[in-house]
Amino acid sequence: MYYFEWLRVRRVFIVVGIVLAVLLALNVWARIRVNETGMNTNWSTNIPLSERATQTEHKLANGINETIIDDPSNGLHAVIDTNPSDWSRSIDVTGPKNVIAQSEVLHPQESIIAIHVVSQSTNGATQHVVVTQRIETPIEYLFVATMLFALITATIFGTAFGIQNSGHLEIAFTVPARREETALRLIGMDLLGILGTDALVIIAAVLAVATWTFPHLAWTSQSLLMIGVALLGPIAWYAMLLVATASLRRGFGVAVGLAWPVAIFVLVMAHVNLGTSNLAQSIQTIFGAINVLNPLEHMNLGRTDNGIVDTTGYGASIVWLCGLAIAYLALAIAQWRRVEA
Amino acid sequence: MSTVSIAHLRKTYGQFVAVDDLSLDIPSGCVFGLLGPNGSGKTTTFKCALGLARRDAGDIRYDNVSLVPQTFERIAYVPEKSVLFEGITVAEHMELTRRSFARFDVKRCAELLAGFGIDPRKRVRVLSKGMKTATAVALAFARTPDIMILDEPTSGLDPINQRVVLNLIVEASANGTTVVFSSHQIGQVERAAERIAIIDRGTLILEGAVDDLKARRKIVEGVVDEHFSVDGFAGDARVAYVEHNGRIIRLHAISNADDLAAELSARGAIGVRVLDLGLEDIFFQSVSTAASRPEA
| DSSP per-residue string spanning A38-98 | T---SPP------TT-EEEEEE-TTS-EEEEEEETTTTEEEEEEE-TTT--EEEEEEEEHH
B146 and B255, same domain (yes or no): no
- Per residue in A288-307, pLDDT (tens digit) is 999 999 999 999 776 666 65
Residues of chain B with C-beta less than 8 angstroms from the C-beta of A167: 81-83
What is the least distance, in Å, from the CA of B115 to any CA of chain A?
23
Chain A residues at the B interface, defined by Cβ less than 8 Å, are 1-4, 7, 167-171, 173-179, 181, 338, 340-341
Using alpha carbons, list the distances in angstroms from residue A10 to A13, A164, B99: 5, 18, 17
At A42, the pLDDT band (50, 70, 90 cuts) reads low
Total domain count, chain B: 2
Average pLDDT of span B117-123: 97
For A142-266, strand residue ranges (E) read 216-218
Q: Are A174 and B52 an interchain contact pair (Cβ–Cβ within 8 Å)?
A: yes
Quote the distance between the C-alpha of residue A254 and its chain's center. 28
pLDDT at A40 over 50: no
CA angle centred on B272, ends B255 and B234, rounded to 5°: 50
What is the least distance, in Å, from the CA of B281 to any CA of chain A?
33
How far is A127 from A101, CA to CA, in rounded Å? Answer: 10
B49 and B147, same domain (yes or no): yes
Using CB atoms, pick whichever of B47, B88, B100 lies closest to residue A175: B100
Q: Which of A159, A170, A180, A337 to mutate to test the interface with B (most CBs of B within 10 A)?
A: A170
Residues whose CB falls within 8 Å of the CB of residue B55, separated by 6 or more in sequence, listed in order: B9, B10, B11, B19, B48
B231 and B97, same domain (yes or no): no
B103 and B182, same domain (yes or no): yes
Residues whose CB falls within 8 Å of the CB of residue A69, separated by 6 or more in sequence, listed in order: A47, A49, A53, A54, A55, A76, A77, A78, A79, A80
B173 and B253, same domain (yes or no): no
B25 and B126, same domain (yes or no): yes
Q: Is B42 on the interface with A (CB under 8 A)?
A: no
Residues of chain A with C-beta less than 8 angstroms from the C-beta of B79: 170
Q: Do the domain assignments include residue B68?
A: yes
Residues of chain A with C-beta less than 8 angstroms from the C-beta of B104: none
Q: Are B96 and A4 an interchain contact pair (Cβ–Cβ within 8 Å)?
A: yes
Q: Do the domain assignments include residue B71?
A: yes
Q: Are A170 and B88 an interchain contact pair (Cβ–Cβ within 8 Å)?
A: no
- Per residue in B89-105, pLDDT (tens digit) is 999 999 999 999 999 99
Question: Residue B85 burial by CB count (10 A; 0-12/13-18/19+): exposed, middle or buried?
Answer: buried
Q: Are B52 and A341 an interchain contact pair (Cβ–Cβ within 8 Å)?
A: yes
Q: Are B71 and A1 an interchain contact pair (Cβ–Cβ within 8 Å)?
A: no
Q: Is B52 on the interface with A (CB under 8 A)?
A: yes
Q: Are B71 and A7 an interchain contact pair (Cβ–Cβ within 8 Å)?
A: no
Q: Do the domain assignments include residue B295?
A: no
Residues whose CB falls within 8 Å of the CB of residue A193, separated by 6 or more in sequence, listed in order: A8, A9, A12, A13, A153, A157
- φ, ψ of residue A5 to 5 degrees: the values are -65, -35
Handedness of CA B189, B160, B153, B179 (dihedral sign): positive
Using CB atoms, pick whichever of B77, B79, B85 lies closest to residue A4: B85
Nearest residue in chain A measured CA to CA from B72: A176
Would you state the pLDDT for residue A112?
Answer: 65
CA atoms within 13 A on the CB side of A304: 4
Q: Do the domain assignments include residue B110?
A: yes
How far is B97 from A171, CA to CA, in rounded Å? Answer: 9
pLDDT at B178 over 90: yes
Using CB atoms, pick whichever of A168, A175, A338 lies closest to residue B72: A175
Would you state the pLDDT for residue B296?
Answer: 42
How far is B172 from B177, CA to CA, in rounded Å? Answer: 5
Domain boundary among B208, B234, B265: B208
Q: Do the domain assignments include residue B146?
A: yes
- Per residue in A150-195, pLDDT (tens digit) is 999 999 999 999 999 999 999 999 999 999 999 999 999 999 999 9
More confident residue, A113 or A20: A20
Q: Do the domain assignments include residue B287?
A: no
Q: Which of A95-109, A120-134, B119-133, B255-269 has the highest mean pLDDT?
A: B119-133
What is the least distance, in Å, from the CA of B242 to any CA of chain A?
42
B203 and B225, same domain (yes or no): no
B232 and B166, same domain (yes or no): no
B78 and B176, same domain (yes or no): yes
Q: Do the domain assignments include residue B266?
A: yes
Q: Do the domain assignments include residue B286?
A: no
pLDDT at B193 over 60: yes
B78 and B156, same domain (yes or no): yes
Q: Is B96 on the interface with A (CB under 8 A)?
A: yes
Would you state the pLDDT for residue A306?
Answer: 61
Query: Do the beta carbons of residue B53 and residue B12 sit within 8 Å?
Result: no
Residues of chain A with C-beta less than 8 angstroms from the C-beta of B51: 173
User: Model's pTM, two decimal places?
Assistant: 0.85
Using CB atoms, pick whichever of B54, B83, B95 lies closest to residue A170: B83
How far is B100 from B116, CA to CA, in rounded Å? Answer: 23
Using CB atoms, pick whichever of A2, A3, A169 lies closest to residue B52: A169
Domain of B111, CATH number, reads 3.40.50.300
Residues of chain A with C-beta less than 8 angstroms from the C-beta of B70: 176
Average pLDDT of span A34-56: 71
> What number of C-beta contacts closer than 8 Å exist between A and B?
61
User: Which range among A238-247, B195-204, B221-230 shows the weakest confidence by mean pLDDT?
Assistant: B221-230
**Structural domain containing residue B241:** 218-276
Residues of chain A with C-beta less than 8 angstroms from the C-beta of B52: 169-170, 173-174, 340-341
What residues pair up with B149 in beta bridges, in sequence order? Answer: B77, B180
Residues of chain A with C-beta less than 8 angstroms from the C-beta of B71: 176
At A101, the pLDDT band (50, 70, 90 cuts) reads confident
B185 and B237, same domain (yes or no): no
Using alpha carbons, list the distances in angstroms from residue A95 to A48, A129, A133, A251: 11, 9, 19, 71
Q: Is B80 on the interface with A (CB under 8 A)?
A: no
How far is A70 from A215, CA to CA, in rounded Å? Answer: 31
pLDDT at A110 over 70: no
Using CB atoms, pick whichever of B51, B53, B99 lies closest to residue A3: B99
Domain of B247, CATH number, reads 3.30.70
This model of the complex carries an ipTM of 0.87
More confident residue, B295 or B41: B41
Nearest residue in chain A measured CA to CA from B143: A175
How far is A89 from A64, CA to CA, in rounded Å? Answer: 9
E strand or H helix at B260: helix B257-266
Nearest residue in chain A measured CA to CA from B70: A176
Domain boundary among B208, B227, B247: B208
B115 and B26, same domain (yes or no): yes
Residue spans per domain, chain A: 2-28+138-337, 40-135
